[in-house]
Structures are given as C-alpha cells and as structure tokens.
Chain A
C-alpha cells in the first residue's frame, strides 16, 4: 500500500515537473553573455556587455513581473572551439536559456550551430559577418546590432561617392574580415569603383607596416581596413607614421568603435568616417545609460555592441513574459520576430524573418581635436541611413528560412 502510494507520488511529481518545463525552465531565465573578456575585443564587448545585460534586466523590472533572471558571463578567447564548448556546457549543464553578444564572427557562427542543435536562443551583438542572417541563418538566431553589409553600405558607399573609387583592402584573415571585405568590395564595384588588391593579415596582428607598404604601392585612393579593435588601432597609427594619409591616400576604418577612437586619440583619428548603430551622445536616454555605465567603468564610453546587448535583452524578456515560457528556443525567437521592438536605447524597430534586427544606422565623422568640447565628444553626424536602407534586402541574403 505504502509502495503504491509512493509510486503515485513519484508519477504526480514527474507530471508537475513536466508542467513546470512548459513554463520557465527550472524557474530561472538564465542569460549567458559570451564574449572576449581578455583579448583585443574586450573593450568593445567584455564586462561592459555583462553590465548592459544586467542593466536591461533591472530596467525591464523582471523581479516585479515575477520573473527570476540571472546573468552570467564567460570568456571565449576569440576561439571557435572554446566558444562552442562553453555554449554546450552552458546549455547542457548550467541551464542557460539564451546566449548574448559573441564578438568574433568565427566564434559566433559556431555558437549559432550549437544553439540550433539545442533549440535555445542566440542574440548576436558583437559579431559582424552578414552570413549569420544569410546562408548560415537559423530559426534560433537573431543578429542584433550591425553587420558587415550595413558597414559596407554606410562607410564604403560614402567613400566611393566622395571620390574614393579605387580600393585596397587590409583584411583580418578570418570569417569576419573576409565577410567585410566581400560586402565592401561589392558596394565599391556597384557604385562604379574598382578594387586594386588585398592583403590578408594574421589575426590578431601587431605590426602592419609591411601590409601598409603594399597598400601604398597599390596607389589605391582608399585603403579599406577590414579588421577591428586593436588591429584597426595599430593599422591607423602606423599608417600615420608611414605618411600614408599625407601622401594622399585615404583610410577607411570599415568597423570602428568609440573605444578605438578613444584609444587612438582625436589627433590621429580625426576625419575618419565610420558607421555605427548607436552613439552615447545622441539622446538623453543614451547619456543616462552612459552615466550608469561610467559608474562601473570610469572614463569609458559604451560601444554600440554593449548598447545592443541591452536592447536585445529587453526584447527577449518581453517575448518570454508574453509566452510565459523560455523552454522552446524556436518559439521564443518566433515571438521576438512577430513583436515590434521598442527600448530606450535603440527606439522602435523590427526583427525580420531571416533574423536581422532592423533599425537606422548612422554615418559619423570623427571630430578634430579643437571641435571636441568635452570628454567623449568624438563624432559628428554626417548622415542617417534610414532603417529601410540600412541592411541587406532580405532576398539578397539567401537565408533558407525565407524561401
């Protein structure tokens, strides 16, 4: 009798557990921020992205809505194997429900595959390769902040239109660099320009003088830097040293963040044209976020990647609250695509069927030292690229989800 009763208890417990599963898995929404915490991309993403995720959870008022949310972070060291094994461990053992950020496109592409296999959610802010919403798109991934196509469409087009019609690329030799070079070359050629050559440098690099010399010899009007972070900083610095800009060639930092401009100083960075999705000094809400950010990271300014993490977490939590479940990754992403986005940092936007988050992009020019009035006053707005034109048309991406 006793045995029978305990058997019944076990069965009912099992049912209860099953029912709970359909709601919030293990009672907690667990957010994993996976990025570079120690290498050349850690100023772009790093702990600042973890902060942004926590701030989003607080601003969303998760606790008041009865949602238990936990944010954790890890360092993928820019290595795809490290990144995908952390992702597996997080999904399988630590019960993480969503992975955020993941700069370094090669790592992001690997994590995207793992996320699809485990049916979880992957919200990319740090990585750039447009393949994430192109041929490699999945029903579990949303590409949030920017991508190589948008950068090419911003900076690349602007340079060609102002006379920079011959190009030489300095490309970081991995998925991101290749994607950025490919997308920019397409824009250059579509606008009547010509690509004279390219050199692919190991990632990460330190000395770029040899590559810069090759770029100089090509006589191209524009040297396109298809790299990022510390690589871009060193390329620009050394280009100045070798008199490349003085010699009449222009540099195009195809992917530059405010942290790069900050590190270079305006003296070296002035006049550079760059494309960003977010700038700290554009709205009162952005400045307010920056103030909170600086309480934790004195003297630093949040990047678009970190702001993108904030925006993505808000939208994710909205979808989970509406569904009352975080268990089915595909369902959560579908809900996120069906709902228009709205948060204080990125304003109103949408998520497309291929997983591309849509919002305006901004073409900035780095100010001259004498134009900068206060700390972090680095950019002047050259143009706003409206949301409808900022990202690759959905048909051109060949994402299998769209057909």
Chain B
C-alpha cells in the first residue's frame, strides 16, 4: 500500500471525502451569511441560532404534526425564513443608516436570547432525530464506508450553493439585488420596491441556515448549542472567502473542510485552530479575503 507521511493513500481518500462533507455544512452556512452581508451589509450573528432553530423546527414538525424529514427540509426553511423576515422588518430595518456594529450587536443579542431559552428548556445533551429511512445504510467505496446520508449532504449542499450563486450573479433578479446594494435610491427610482427586496433577501439567507439545520439534525443531535459551536468557524470561512462574496464563501467552505479534515489526520490536536491560522495568513496577504474586493 502506498503511503504519504505514514498515512495510506486509501485512508487519505476517506479523510478527504469526510473533509468535503464537513465543508458542505461550512459552505451552506457561510453562503447564507455572505448573501446577507453582500446584499444587506448586515453581519448576521444570529446565523448560528437560526441554524439551530431550523433543526428544532424539523424536530417539532415531526413531534407535533408527524411531518417527516423530507417535508421538514422544505417547511423548516420557510417557517424560519418567515421569522427572519419579521425580525428584519421589526428590528434590523431600523439600523440600516447606522454603523455595521449595531446590526452585529442586535443579532448577537438575539442569538444569545434564543440559545439561552432553548438551553433552559432542552438542556445541552440534545435530542435525537432519526435519519430518513431512504438514506440509512451506506456504500462500501473500497477505501471507506460512506453513509448514504453523508453523500446526500454533499449533493444537496452543492445544488443549493450553485443555484444561489447562479441566481445572484447570472439572473435579472440577481442584478436588481446587486444594484440595490450599490445604490438603493437609484434602483428605487426605477420603480423597484427595495425595502421589500431586502426583507426577502434576509429571509432567504435565514432560510439557508434553517436548511442546513435540518440537514445536520440526523447527524448531530438537535442541540441548543449546535449553532454556537459552529458559527465562529463559519465566520472565519466568510472572512477568508471575502466578506459578501458568494462564490468565495462556497469555495472557501469546501476548501476549509478539506484542510480541517487533513489536519485531523496529521495533527488532530490542531484541527479546531487550523481554520483560524489560515484566516490570519490570508488576512495578512489579502486583507479583503480571497475573493473579496476592497470597497
């Protein structure tokens, strides 16, 4: 068997794949953050909490209405996205003329409240959420056993990421959105309802977080802390990719998943710091991030 630094290539393939799977969560979450920041200029610190709410929403749909995973995958983003839009209308919209910092503080506060309430009610051990029957089991790929569900995570995440990129960068709707970010007054003058568009965009970003939450529920527990654990890494991903760059967040999300995965093989103790080391290096060389443009 061939070996690289004492690790067989077969094992390495497995680890690369695992890295990609974790990367798909980073990509999904950082995508939502990038959409919100890129188009609204809000640093949405409540993103982790909204991810957690998505998972809980899926759990409640099952518990109270017997609605299973597949419907939850569609319904939870809708419900949580709607809640997000209400938050945007009632609170965030009042802060647009102020500094970024106020939006950050507001969303951070909201996240702490939501997480605190959930923790008080459900503790920190989490609640199990069953995998959909169609995706249990797995495939033996020769170099590793790939659970079907994890394969589904990669596919679903890629589809969602690429379509989001396509809509914002390649369609007319996307061009309105980008124009509204650059110069809201002018776009409004063309008869486009900019505030409504902003509300919908925030709702979409939040829905992406909720979607990731439902995706994560069967793998991890449905846990009040699941977002808090992840959000810092996801922010680092967004910063590395370039704040607000859609493509940047997708590529960086997957790439950092792989880098983290490799660190887990060669020096596992550093696997939760490696993302931040990359961040420091990138910021030193390209302060606007890999795909970002200086404004």
Contacts and interface: CB of A to CB of B under 8 A. Distances in A.
Q: How large is the interface on A (under 10, 10 to 19, 20 to 34, 35 or more residues)?
A: 35 or more
Contact of B145 (A211, A237, A247): A247
Interface stretch (A53-61, A262-270, A342-350): A262-270
Interface string B10-24: 010011001101100
A69 B205 CA distance: 52
A247 B41 CA distance: 50
A166 B281 CA distance: 42
A15 interface: no
Contacts of B288: none
A230 B223 contact: yes
B261 interface: yes
A323 B268 CA distance: 51
A202 B11 contact: no
A200 B269 contact: yes
Measured as residues with beta carbon below 8 angstroms from the partner, the interface class of chain B is: 35 or more
Contact of B269 (A39, A202, A204, A234): A202
Interface in B219-269: 219-221, 223, 225-226, 229-230, 261, 264-265, 268-269
B149 interface: yes
Interface in A205-262: 205-207, 209-211, 213-214, 216-217, 229-230, 233-234, 237-238, 241-243, 247, 259-260, 262
B15 to A, nearest CB: 6
Contact of A206 (B11, B18, B147, B229): B229
Contacts of A38: 119, 124
Given A201-B268, A238-B219, A43 B124 contact: yes
B195 interface: no
Nearest to A40: B124
Nearest to A260: B125
A210 B128 contact: no
B144 interface: yes
Nearest to A210: B264
A39 B225 contact: yes
B109 interface: no
Contacts of B125: 43, 229-230, 233, 259-260, 262-263
A243 B220 contact: no
A268 B120 CA distance: 25
Nearest to A238: B219
Q: Which of B126, B144, B149 has the most CB of A within 10 A?
A: B126
B272 interface: yes
B219 A42 contact: no
B272 A205 contact: yes
A207 B226 CA distance: 11
Greatest chain B CB density within 10 A among A38, A213, A216, A234 is at A213
Contacts of A214: 11, 265
Contacts of A243: 138, 145, 147
A209 B273 CA distance: 18
Contacts of B273: 202
Given A38-B119, A262-B125, A233 B229 contact: no
Nearest to A44: B125
A173 interface: yes
A206 B220 CA distance: 8
Contacts of B265: 210, 214
A207 B269 contact: no
B168 interface: no
A210 B15 contact: yes
Of listed B123, B223, B229, B269, residue having the most chain A CB within 10 A? B123
In the A-B complex, list the 7 residue pairs whose CB atoms are closest, starting with the nearest: A263-B125, A202-B272, A210-B264, A43-B123, A43-B125, A265-B128, A241-B147
Interface of B: 8, 11, 14-15, 18-19, 21-22, 119, 123-128, 131, 138, 144-145, 147, 149-150, 219-221, 223, 225-226, 229-230, 261, 264-265, 268-269, 271-273
28 contacts: A38-B119, A43-B125, A46-B123, A199-B268, A200-B268, A201-B268, A205-B272, A206-B230, A210-B19, A210-B261, A210-B264, A210-B271, A213-B11, A213-B14, A213-B144, A214-B11, A230-B125, A237-B128, A238-B219, A241-B131, A241-B138, A241-B149, A260-B125, A262-B125, A263-B125, A263-B127, A263-B128, A300-B123
Interface of A: 38-43, 46, 173, 199-202, 204-207, 209-211, 213-214, 216-217, 229-230, 233-234, 237-238, 241-243, 247, 259-260, 262-265, 268, 300
